[in-house]
Chains A and B, each alone.
Chain A
Amino acid sequence: MADTILEARDVVYSYSRKGPKVLDGMCIKIDKGVKTAVLGSNGAGKSTLFSVLNALYKPQSGTVLYKGEPLSYRHKGVIKMRSEVSILFQNPNDMMFKPYVEQDVAYGPENMKLPKDEVDKRVEEALFTVGMEEYRKSPIMKLSYGQRKRVTLAGVLAMRPSVLIMDEPTAGLDPQMAYEVMEIAEQLHSSGVTVVMSSHDTDLVYSWADEIRVLGGGRCVYSGPPEDFYGDRAEVQRAGLMPPSVFSINEALSRSGAFPLEPLPRTRAQLSVKISGKGDAYGRMHVILADPETDVPGLIASSGLKGISTGVCGISARMAAESSGFKADFPYNGPENCVSKCMTGQDSVLICDPAMLGVAESSVRFIEANGYGSIETDVVNPGLSDRGLSRRRTGRVIKAVCPIAAFRIASGRPRVGMRKRFRRVLQRRKPERFATSWLKRVYVLS
């Protein structure tokens, strides 16, 4: 279904001539637009594989293909490839080259020999994406570990890679920061970047990845959707891993006869839904689309949604909540928590980044598709984008384009009809196509 963007064929690599082979006949394919997680125990060769894919190391034998072409290890070819495939190192301190945030983020684009304007634009955009705009002029030395991690992520994003490889992106981060990084990964995915990551956090990866690649003994021992792999306990044990807790709890409950094994929940909230079973009356989920300037409390008050539990999803939504001093009940895991709230029969409000609608949708869809009832959804301010132009602090004009808005412009119908249409759109379209492009289309700097 998808094209292979990066591929390693029978790659053999060892650090020294007589040393052990870290990669020994590694065959791996990374498909375009598929969220791929690379798993394996310590020393399975994950980082080495990434370095080989990025032409940092030249394999002793075997080939690495990018977009179907074998890698050229010549200067020009490598430059071109590396400007499209980027690695985020595990330790942000390894990637700090400049004393100030802005300079460090600009390092990549400058090396690409881009014109100054373009570099500026990209730095701003990247810092915005990771939510570090206000630290633009800060010295890096003064930042905390988590902030440094975000700055290095911005530094990589500023190169606008089409493939982003993240080596243990959540290692050493506290749960909230880890969640935010995963959210950024999700947004990048929906903007068309192919995101690959390695992680030891089985639960986190399970809720995120479409497909996994498991490494062991210098080879790829499994490639495919995570569920099939975790189903084979012996195989998991051999690979030095453990099944995610959501997976094993679901499995155990189904074996004890509480419910059938399928559908397999990927997240904690989905598991809760499954354990609870079908409820009688569900609440409604109100979605507020937000750009960083949206006046969240005002909008909630004017729509008569005061007193309802609110969740936040996506960076611009987070920024909107922060800048308008709004305290959400679920600042993290917004869609899931909102769905859970709805399942208890109460309404909920989700303040959502337009780019994250796909995520919100999949949370709702799990309920509907598996016959646990349906949760009504409506968008409170579909006109976010046909308000069209909003001014940001920088004074630049930003135009947001989002499919729902486009839809509404076309139909011109009132809100009630909107809701039905919205749902129909959600059901009809695949999330990849539905979700808007984040970097390239949502905020078009004019």
Chain B
Amino acid sequence: MGDAMALFELDDVTFSHNPTLPPVMEGFSLSVNEGLRTAILGANGAGKTTFFYTLTGVNKPQKGQVLYKGAPVEYTKEGLRNLRSEVAVVLQNPDEQIFCSLVEEDVAFGPLNLGMSAEDVEVRVAKALSDVRLTGLERRPLQQLSGGQRKRVAIAGALAMDPRVMIMDEPTAGLDPQASMEVMEIAEKLALRGVTVLISTHDVDLAYRWAEVSDVLCKGSVEHSGNAEEFYSDAERVYACGLLAPSVFSINREVSAMHGKDPKPYPRCPCELLAKFGGSKRSGRVRLVPAGPEEAVNAMGSAMKDMKDACSCIYGPDVRRVLGGSADVAFDGMDVCFSRAVEGKDSVLAYDPVYEPFVRGQIDRLKEFGFDVEAV
């Protein structure tokens, strides 16, 4: 991790809400690198939220330095405004950050505060709402929306700032499994667009699967930063940090131990686990259908005609809107589709074209496990 990439650098930061209270961050040093999917892990009260507020300049450290793009954060009105126009936060509870009564009013809140012109704001709001799949609900009062929808409004509010860094505090908390899948797809999309996404979560399975970098906080300081496996391999440390190892990691470790094998390479998602411990010799065919919402129906139809008995899978919000009702697997389609390939069965994977590098990346990762997906 070269210094050139570091977007945020925290050096020996100490912060407490009140001089009489013990500090909630102490000796906190961490750098956040640009363009990497970063997970912030830690038990309740480890200081995750405090850390996020330090990044956005809400908390001014009593000691130590916060650097953004190499320069110390200026705690002036102007400096903070510049910082916050690039760093957006989505809080755990959407009700805490929704301030207006209409969807579009709330999404426009951030950009309007930056003093942007009405036309620019209009464009941004429309884009943000389409990103979170809320187009058509612009003038809906927020009280009428469900919890999952409100969460997406909060995310849209952050997206409308067109941020360079997106911080999401427990984005999947309180959401049902499908809604959390959708939120993670949004996070993935942002990462592919070059936004640096930071996610804090208690869901270690989800973080393990998603993140490239895992930063573990414990009692107000950084316990680990970097590779997730390195951290989870040290069971004692994991327990001391209030966490548990992700189940895919544990299964791999246990099975490897019972067979006396090297746990490497580490599978991170079910399809990789399958590729490692079983699976047929021959890969099932996977028909990749990157399709925009307009051509998706036709593309999917012709793909399904070519492939008999294939399972149709979906990844990405736009394709889901069009095909969600008819597909066999509308959520988590990518993993299911590659799992089936490992089983030796055929499937069709339709996804938004944005996700192309992500899908290719997964195919490459499966190669590490000695499995070649036959992608058509």
Q: Chain A: residues with CB nearer than 8 A to chain B?
A: 40-43, 144-146, 168, 171-179, 200, 202-203, 233-234, 237, 240-242, 245-246, 248-249, 252-253, 255-259, 268-269, 271-272, 275-276, 279, 327, 329-333, 340, 343-344
B270 lies within 8 A of A248 (CB):
yes
Q: What is the bound-complex CA distance between A279 and B174, given in angstroms?
A: 41
A42 lies within 8 A of B202 (CB):
no
**CB of B274 closer than 8 Å to a CB of A:** yes
How near does chain B come to A130, taking the closest CB pair, in angstroms? 15
Q: What is the bound-complex CA distance between A242 and B332, given in angstroms?
A: 9
Q: What is the bound-complex CA distance between A181 and B270, given in angstroms?
A: 27
- Residue contacts A-B, CB under 8 angstroms, 18 given: A41-B176, A42-B179, A172-B173, A172-B202, A176-B239, A176-B244, A177-B242, A200-B174, A200-B177, A233-B329, A237-B331, A240-B177, A240-B178, A248-B270, A252-B270, A275-B278, A331-B239, A344-B257
A176 lies within 8 A of B43 (CB):
yes
Q: Which residue of A lies closest to B170 (CB)?
A: A172
Q: Which residue of A lies closest to B247 (CB)?
A: A268
**CB of B114 closer than 8 Å to a CB of A:** no
Given A276-B255, A332-B244, 10 more pairs with CB closer than 8 A: A42-B146, A144-B44, A145-B45, A200-B177, A233-B329, A240-B177, A241-B177, A276-B254, A327-B236, A340-B258
B279 lies within 8 A of A240 (CB):
no
How near does chain A come to B133, taking the closest CB pair, in angstroms? 15
B interface residue count range (under 10 / 10 to 19 / 20 to 34 / 35 or more): 35 or more
**CB of B83 closer than 8 Å to a CB of A:** no
**Which residues from B are CB-within-8-Å of A276?**
254-255, 258-259
Most buried by B among A258, A259, A333: A258
A173 lies within 8 A of B250 (CB):
no
Q: What is the bound-complex CA distance between A275 and B328, given in angstroms?
A: 27
B251 lies within 8 A of A253 (CB):
no
**Which residues from B are CB-within-8-Å of A168?**
174
How near does chain B come to A397, taking the closest CB pair, in angstroms? 34
A249 lies within 8 A of B332 (CB):
no
A41 lies within 8 A of B179 (CB):
yes
Q: What is the bound-complex CA distance between A92 and B175, given in angstroms?
A: 18
**Which residues from B are CB-within-8-Å of A242?**
177-178, 181, 331-332
> Quick one: which of B170, B176, B204, B254 contacts A175, CB cutoff 8 A?
B204
A271 lies within 8 A of B175 (CB):
no
**CB of B101 closer than 8 Å to a CB of A:** no
B175 lies within 8 A of A200 (CB):
yes
A176 lies within 8 A of B328 (CB):
no
The answer to whether A249 and B274 touch (CB under 8 A), given A257-B280, A329-B235, is: yes
**Which residues from A are CB-within-8-Å of B204?**
175
B43 lies within 8 A of A174 (CB):
yes
Q: What is the bound-complex CA distance between A177 and B328, given in angstroms?
A: 36
**Which residues from B are CB-within-8-Å of A248?**
270, 336, 339
**CB of B343 closer than 8 Å to a CB of A:** yes
**CB of B359 closer than 8 Å to a CB of A:** no
A202 lies within 8 A of B177 (CB):
yes
**CB of B363 closer than 8 Å to a CB of A:** no
Q: What is the bound-complex CA distance between A203 and B180, given in angstroms?
A: 14
**Which residues from B are CB-within-8-Å of A253?**
274, 277-279
A237 lies within 8 A of B330 (CB):
yes
The answer to whether A203 and B247 touch (CB under 8 A), given A175-B202, A175-B242, A275-B278, is: yes
How near does chain B come to A247, taking the closest CB pair, in angstroms? 10
Q: What is the bound-complex CA distance between A241 and B147, given in angstroms?
A: 16
The answer to whether A256 and B278 touch (CB under 8 A), given A43-B147, A242-B181, A246-B247, is: yes
**CB of B288 closer than 8 Å to a CB of A:** no
**Which residues from A are CB-within-8-Å of B148?**
42-43
Q: Which residue of B lies closest to A43 (CB)?
A: B146
Q: What is the bound-complex CA distance between A253 and B280, given in angstroms?
A: 9
A42 lies within 8 A of B173 (CB):
no
